[in-house]
Chains A and B, each alone.
Chain A
Amino acid sequence: MIRITTCIKQVPGTTKVEVDEKTGVLKRDGIESKMNPYDLYALETALKIKEERETELTVVSMGPPQAEDVIREAYMMGADKGLLLSDRKFAGADVLSTAYTLSQGIAAEELPDLIICGKQTTDGDTAQVGPEIAEFLNIPHVANVTCIREVKADGIVVDMDLPNAVETVEAAFPCLITVEKGIHQPRLPSFRLKMATRDREVPVLSMKDFTDQDETRYGLKGSPTQVVRIFPPETDREKETWQGTGPELAGRIHEKLVAEKFI
């Protein structure tokens, strides 16, 4: 049996999140939340492996108590076990302290063979948490995975997307991969599984359950990154509509591209 852990995160359900101009904090109140879309690809990748061979699939999330929702959602998609890392002491975590907290949570039980993360989140977009978890756990990691070629008894062969090439690599278990968007079309949550897992527990771990009891490693205290300001990016897209015959329009586009120094 292979043991897989997938890391998932609850993010705002819409891209239309407002930022409090004064505090720079995202206004999350009253905003619907959802599972980070990239994590759905991670989960689907794990579920595809589970379809092929005997697998125990655990999902782990760090977040406030309501992040239980995404774990329940993972149950509805086919995950076997869940783990929520929730503690006021984890609040305000940056990338480093998030990765550290997750690594402590994952290491609290026997280390899985394979950890699968989404490439990044849609609310933080750093793509660093996955690889940093692996560094803290001292296991190999492969980022930007576009294809699982083979799952062996002792390792995994994957395609990794590099800027100008695709590299096929083999990593020995235990290891961590982060997967690209589109690796598999994520399945939809199942109503049957919703009914079947309605009473399944979501275990919660807090700092006291971790090996490292040093409070300065967690949450805001453990975060070397300070957010100075968050603001919605300005959009300066302009749209022009031209009408005319094909040759006229082609000429105009050519002139415009020259004028804008694109060609």
Chain B
Amino acid sequence: MTYKTITPEDINMLKSIVSDDRVLYEGAISEDYSHDELSGEEHFPEVLVKANSTEEVSQIMTYAFENNIPVTPRGQGTGLVGGSVALFGGIMIDLNNMNQILELDEENLTLTVQPGVMLMEISKYVEERDLFYPPDPGEKSASIGGNINTNAGGMRAVKYGVTRDYVRSLEVVLPNGEVMEFGGKVVKNSSGYSVKDLIVGSEGTLGIVTKAVLRLLPLPKTAISLLIPFPDLFAAIETVPRIIKSKAIPTAIEFMERDVILASEEFLGMQFPDSSADAYLLLNFDGNSKEEIENIYENVARICLDAGAEDVLIADTQERKEAIWKARGAFLEAIKASTTDMDECDVVVPRNKIAEFVKFADTLKEEFDVRIMGFGHAGDGNLHLYVLKDAMDKTAFTEKLSAVFDRMYTKARELGGAVSGEHGIGYAKKPFLAESLGDSGMNLLAAIKLAFDPKRILNPGKVCA
């Protein structure tokens, strides 16, 4: 793909659309904008524009479309697969100034937000009003625009689903600059193709989300977490299908191993409430009273004890839950801090196959002589496995990584899984997506991309383009 290089005229044009101080170029662009949190690749955009409104985004896109300039939309840049990195230079549109909560509609239980609102701001705002936005990805400083574009999942997916399940409508600027709204404040909708659902998870390749109407629920009054120590990881994970079969619906079933907990303790400088066991399941139940939740979890607790759990530890107060979940929330950063570099595998497999996958991944450590640390959402089949560079040199690491990932993704495919559970494809996972979908699948994706973006200027080099 060849694109127009940015010229002083382009810069002036962009300045006339927004204002001088919101157009940055050359040395004025902070290094932060050249990468995301993990994917390793570094590319600066030629010009960075901080948009304040849908109109501005639309005018920038119109100009870019007419002039064949690549555009990369960007939120907080907390992605892990390079989705928000400007691989082809061009214009980067920073949407973080568009950070207003526009409307709370208590009659329709919806919240209308701009894309730059951070996840933690949304949960705080709605929970103060006894409402609830269920998606709960670990990175609370991520923008909602980014969450929508990756169809972020998080730690309540077992009971509540993922971001896509909570988007009612989207205002989108198409690559040609046209502004459209897909969906609405409606609960049902059978009106043609669901473009809204296609935009969710499209990683900024089909359009730029400039406004979203989110679906809310009443806030559950209380929650109790159970921390369940097991003698080993396999005993822990093999219990998960039994919990699911029991028809109890926890909001989360997470698994974790002692080495990750210890890394997290060191990273945060705080102690985890228990670190006597090799592996743990962490369950969370919500409901309207402590008694209601206790009735539900007792059965699950017995299942776990029958399955060989050493005990079932109860976190029923804010302090107790924080001591656990704060550590859980820091796992990624803690693992990152324990090595020189790493890359991750975010596969998702059917829930009854997760034990098999974890066992398989464990054998790779020895086979490839590499440190692999992981944790994950055992209840929804989504794993986060990190291959660590440690003392390897870059070439050796790249080779090993590719070999290990090849094996992991092949195994996931065999088990009926998918490449990414919640972090997306970006450019880092493109080869694995291509293998997983095959030529016909990729051609279909490419055709959809072209229908939206015939010039392929929007976030080029990502997902399928």
22 contacts between A and B (CB under 8 A): A14-B318, A32-B290, A34-B316, A35-B317, A37-B319, A76-B314, A185-B270, A185-B271, A185-B273, A188-B273, A188-B313, A188-B314, A188-B315, A189-B313, A190-B311, A190-B312, A190-B314, A191-B305, A191-B312, A191-B314, A192-B311, A192-B312
A187–B276 Cα gap in the complex (Å)? 11
The 9 closest A-B pairs by CB, nearest first: A191-B312, A188-B313, A185-B271, A34-B317, A189-B314, A191-B301, A192-B311, A188-B273, A190-B311
Q: Hey, which chain A residues are within 8 Å of B311, CB to CB?
A: 190-192
Give the number of residues in A that approach B within 8 Å (Cβ atoms): 17
A14–B319 Cα gap in the complex (Å)? 10
CB closest residue in chain A, given B227: A188
Q: Which residues, 242 to 278 on B, are CB-close (under 8 Å) to A?
A: 270-274
B222 at the A interface (CB under 8 A): yes
Q: Hey, which chain A residues are within 8 Å of B226, CB to CB?
A: 191
A81–B272 Cα gap in the complex (Å)? 27
B320 at the A interface (CB under 8 A): yes
A3 at the B interface (CB under 8 A): no
B323 at the A interface (CB under 8 A): yes
Smallest CB separation, A261 vs chain B (Å): 32
Q: Which residues of chain A have a CB within 8 Å of any CB of chain B?
A: 13-14, 32, 34-35, 37, 40, 76, 185-192, 194
Q: Hey, which chain A residues are within 8 Å of B298, CB to CB?
A: 191
Give the number of residues in B that approach A within 8 Å (Cβ atoms): 23
A14–B221 Cα gap in the complex (Å)? 12
Evaluate whether A13 and B317 lie within 8 angstroms (CB atoms) in the complex, with A190-B311, A192-B305, A192-B312 already known: yes
Smallest CB separation, A115 vs chain B (Å): 23
Q: Hey, which chain B residues are within 8 Å of A14, CB to CB?
A: 318
CB closest residue in chain B, given A76: B314
A144–B246 Cα gap in the complex (Å)? 47
Q: Hey, which chain B residues are within 8 Å of A190, CB to CB?
A: 311-314
Contact partner of A191 among B274, B313, B319, CB < 8 A?
B313
A128–B377 Cα gap in the complex (Å)? 46
B314 contacts A187, C-beta separation under 8 Å: no
Name which of B227, B301, B312, B323 has the most chain A CB atoms within 10 A of its CB.
B312
B318 contacts A13, C-beta separation under 8 Å: yes
Q: Hey, which chain B residues are within 8 Å of A76, CB to CB?
A: 314
A23–B274 Cα gap in the complex (Å)? 43
B290 contacts A188, C-beta separation under 8 Å: no
Smallest CB separation, A186 vs chain B (Å): 7
Q: Hey, which chain B residues are within 8 Å of A13, CB to CB?
A: 317-318
Q: Hey, which chain B residues are within 8 Å of A40, CB to CB?
A: 319
Smallest CB separation, A187 vs chain B (Å): 6
A188 contacts B222, C-beta separation under 8 Å: no
Smallest CB separation, B224 vs chain A (Å): 11
Q: Hey, which chain A residues are within 8 Å of B318, CB to CB?
A: 13-14
B319 contacts A188, C-beta separation under 8 Å: no
A192–B318 Cα gap in the complex (Å)? 22
B222 contacts A32, C-beta separation under 8 Å: yes
Q: Mark B297-309, 1 if CB is under 8 A from A, else 0.
A: 0100100010000
Evaluate whether A187 and B305 lie within 8 angstroms (CB atoms) in the complex, with A13-B317, A13-B318 already known: no
A37–B318 Cα gap in the complex (Å)? 10
A14–B315 Cα gap in the complex (Å)? 15
CB closest residue in chain A, given B221: A32
Smallest CB separation, B405 vs chain A (Å): 37
A35–B320 Cα gap in the complex (Å)? 11
B313 contacts A185, C-beta separation under 8 Å: no
Smallest CB separation, B233 vs chain A (Å): 20
A194 contacts B314, C-beta separation under 8 Å: yes
Q: Hey, which chain A residues are within 8 Å of B320, CB to CB?
A: 186, 188
Smallest CB separation, A227 vs chain B (Å): 26
Q: Hey, which chain A residues are within 8 Å of B315, CB to CB?
A: 188
A259–B315 Cα gap in the complex (Å)? 46
A191–B301 Cα gap in the complex (Å)? 7
A200–B377 Cα gap in the complex (Å)? 38
Q: Hey, which chain B residues are within 8 Å of A194, CB to CB?
A: 314
A32–B289 Cα gap in the complex (Å)? 9
Name which of A37, A40, A186, A191 has the most chain B CB atoms within 10 A of its CB.
A191
Evaluate whether A186 and B317 lie within 8 angstroms (CB atoms) in the complex, with A191-B311, A192-B311 already known: no
Evaluate whether A188 and B274 lie within 8 angstroms (CB atoms) in the complex, with A34-B317, A37-B319 already known: yes
9 more contacts with CB within 8 A, not counting A76-B314, A185-B270, A192-B312, are A32-B222, A34-B317, A188-B227, A188-B313, A188-B314, A188-B315, A188-B320, A190-B312, A192-B305
